[in-house]
């Protein structure tokens, strides 16, 4: 057999496998130093800890979607993420930031196109768990994303689960803190309805603290998970903060979401730089405010709010003022009439990541409403009522594995970590469910497996064609501001298929056939997602590794 190598291929194959190349016509190999094997221990960057806190198997999902195996795709998605129709809308998609395709042309629209489509497809399905197999009962305090996630995985594990929620509706921050233009109530209710069909009982208007007390739950249940979130607003601590017309961001969102209305004036100043501040400002426009300005004490680059949310707010006409903070809220007859601003500059002590007073600028902004959204904290009254230990930062103290200072009591979510994303909360709930299960069954919690993350440099992009990413469709500006209808529209099945086909499927064999085509010995056969090599006849040249488009094969040392 004569094998012809181009200069590029010869150079790359030598880099991939720095050994002598034996080219022949078969027969056992004696001098081979490396051998090719299928890479089964790697992971795509989109599914790594940095890419997806939940750990969704995105490449497997993409393969199933492109084959139109939607039921199987939904099952893969649900096995990791209980609420894909929710996260497909509200997750800030770190998976797309990590996507290797982003270094080739544009990242795959994983959340908006693929996850949301499959999640919505699943809303029309009916999922039932088998009758509870285990005798143990679990109580969960709080029905936010962490509590709901834990309930899902515990119910799937055969436990009897009851959730206690102090609000009149289930959902926690999902229902109280995320406006309908980002997460429609119908979607949230459908996802929670699926959880109830698994046998999970949810008791709303049932705050835990006095009746029932935490001690009562400890006596009635085999384990208790505290997942109360971080809903308390941080105070601004300036003169005039108690005047009429001063609202905290979380209360504004809660009232708007639960009651459908909130009283705001015509000119609103929103103080803060996070996503709550952005949502509060956008809600104020929809509630009738004529002019809304966000005041932030640092630079645009230092805002915690997600870029997509900031861009949406700017498109809707919300103003932004940077390097300013309120020195006082001005009042007349105990009603807000303005806010006096202090200029700020980057702090010299920490390379510009904080701000310090520069001078009293004398700038007064005429407003009739001030919304304070400078951060959230854990409700300290709950900690006092339950007697649970707190950290110096005021968070719920929990050891690794989510156990607290109280017997049989676990904790997870924002109450432990401080405010994070919905995806982080879902991941924390899943981890708590695993910890509770391990504790009740008398075994160690399984440790996460360290896996190799496939880098862009490991891909052979010669086999990929540049294709533009789908564009997110939205309501018109007039439609947005006329109410709380969902702004980001469904992209549909065609877009989901298209984006799934754009996925590189990093590190996973998809039977493309490149390795078998280039093998000089003709000893590679492919099954469904498998690579079979007649290793006794392999010379260890590494051409299969070099040519693999997605790093699904690697070279390992001979034993």
Spans of all domains in the chain:
7-39+509-557, 43-125+460-502, 137-230+382-440, 234-376
The predicted structure's pLDDT at residue 178: 97
Domains 137-230+382-440 and 234-376 share a fold: yes
* Predicted local confidence at residue 181, as pLDDT: 97
CATH code, residues 137-230+382-440: 3.50.50.60
Q: In this predicted model, what pLDDT tens digit does every residue of 282-334 receive, in sequence order?
A: 999 999 999 999 999 999 999 999 999 999 999 999 999 999 999 999 999 99
Sign of CA dihedral 228, 231, 236, 240: negative
Taking alpha carbons only, the member of 358, 292, 350 closest to residue 323 is 358
| Assigned token pair, 153 | 């995985």
Average pLDDT (482-490) is 96
What is the model's pLDDT at position 29?
59
Q: pLDDT averaged over the chain?
A: 89
Q: How confident is the model at residue 345 (pLDDT cuts 50, 70, 90)?
A: confident
- By residue count, the chain amounts to 559
Q: How far apart are CA 448 and CA 284, in angstroms?
A: 43
CA nearest neighbour of 375 among 521, 230, 228: 230
What is the C-alpha separation between 61 and 69, in angstroms, rounded? 9
The CATH number that domain 43-125+460-502 falls under is 1.10.1060.10
Instruction: Write down the CATH superfamily of domain 234-376.
Output: FAD/NAD(P)-binding domain (3.50.50.60)
Place of tokens 């936010």: 144
Please tell me the class of the 7-39+509-557 domain. alpha beta
Determine the average pLDDT of the residues in 383-409: 87
Residues 104, 73, 49: CA angle, nearest 5 degrees: 55
Binned at pLDDT 50, 70 and 90, residue 401 comes out as low
Question: Bigger pLDDT: 135 or 445?
Answer: 135
What's the pLDDT tens digit per position in 20-31?
333 344 444 556
**pLDDT at position 23:** 39
pLDDT at 362: 65
CA distances, 17 to each of 146, 361, 415, 521, 555 (Å): 46, 66, 50, 16, 7
Q: What angle, rounded to 10 degrees, do the helices at 116-123 and 70-80 form?
A: 100
Q: What pLDDT was estimated at residue 12?
A: 32
pTM (2 d.p.): 0.90
What's the confidence (pLDDT) of residue 446?
Answer: 74
The pLDDT value recorded for residue 351 is: 39
Classify the C-alpha dihedral 453-458-459-461 as positive or negative. positive
pLDDT > 50? residue 177: yes
pLDDT tier at 445, thresholds 50, 70, 90: confident
């Amino acid at each position: 057999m004569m094998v012809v190598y181009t200069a590029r291929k010869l150079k790359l194959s030598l880099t991939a496998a720095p050994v002598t190349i034996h080219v022949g016509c078969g027969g056992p190999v004696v001098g081979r130093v490396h051998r090719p094997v299928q890479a089964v221990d790697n992971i795509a960057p989109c599914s790594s800890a940095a890419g997806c806190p939940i750990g969704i198997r995105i490449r497997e999902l993409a393969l199933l979607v492109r084959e139109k195996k939607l039921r199987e795709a939904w099952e893969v998605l649900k096995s990791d993420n209980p609420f894909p129709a929710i996260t497909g809308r509200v997750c800030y998609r770190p998976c797309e930031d990590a996507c290797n395709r982003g270094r080739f042309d544009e990242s795959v629209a994983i959340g908006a196109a693929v996850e949301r489509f499959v999640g919505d497809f699943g809303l029309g399905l009916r999922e039932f768990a088998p009758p509870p197999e285990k005798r143990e009962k679990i109580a969960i305090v709080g029905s936010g994303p962490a509590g709901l996630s834990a309930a899902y995985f515990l119910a799937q594990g055969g436990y009897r689960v009851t959730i206690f929620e102090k609000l009149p509706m289930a959902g926690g921050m999902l229902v109280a803190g995320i406006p309908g233009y980002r997460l429609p109530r119908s979607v949230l209710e459908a996802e929670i309805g699926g959880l109830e069909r698994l046998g999970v009982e949810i008791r709303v208007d049932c705050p835990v603290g006095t009746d029932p007390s935490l001690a009562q739950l400890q006596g009635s249940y085999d384990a208790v998970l505290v997942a109360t979130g971080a809903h308390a607003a941080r105070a601004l601590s300036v003169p005039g903060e108690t005047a009429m017309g001063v609202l905290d961001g979380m209360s504004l969102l809660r009232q708007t979401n639960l009651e459908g209305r909130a009283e705001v004036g015509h000119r609103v100043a929103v103080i803060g730089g996070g996503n709550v501040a952005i949502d509060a400002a956008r809600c104020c426009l929809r509630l009738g405010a004529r002019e809304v300005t966000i005041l932030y004490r640092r630079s645009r680059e230092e805002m915690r709010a997600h870029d997509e949310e900031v861009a949406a707010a700017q498109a809707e006409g919300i103003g932004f003022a940077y390097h300013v903070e309120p020195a006082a809220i001005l009042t007349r007859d105990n009603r807000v009439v303005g806010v006096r601003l202090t200029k700020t500059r980057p702090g010299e002590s920490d390379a510009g990541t904080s701000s310090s007073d520069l001078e009293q600028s004398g700038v007064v902004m005429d407003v009739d409403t001030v919304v304070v959204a400078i951060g959230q904290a854990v409700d300290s009254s709950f900690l006092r009522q339950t007697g649970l230990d707190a950290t110096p930062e005021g968070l719920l103290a929990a050891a690794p594995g989510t156990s607290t200072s109280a017997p049989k009591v676990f904790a997870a979510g924002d109450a432990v970590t401080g405010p994070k994303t919905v995806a982080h909360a879902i991941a924390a709930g899943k981890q708590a469910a695993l910890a509770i299960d391990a504790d009740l069954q008398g075994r160690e919690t399984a440790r996460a497996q360290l896996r190799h993350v496939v880098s862009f440099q490991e891909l052979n992009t010669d086999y990929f064609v540049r294709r533009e990413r789908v564009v997110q469709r939205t309501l018109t500006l007039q439609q947005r501001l006329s109410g709380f209808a969902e702004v980001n529209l469904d992209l549909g099945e065609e877009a989901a298929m298209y984006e799934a086909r754009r996925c590189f499927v990093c590190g996973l064999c998809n039977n493309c056939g490149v390795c078998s085509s280039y093998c000089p010995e003709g000893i590679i056969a492919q099954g469904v997602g498998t690579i079979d090599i007649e290793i006794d006849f392999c010379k260890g040249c590494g051409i299969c590794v070099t040519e693999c488009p997605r790093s699904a094969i690697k070279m390992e040392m001979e034993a």
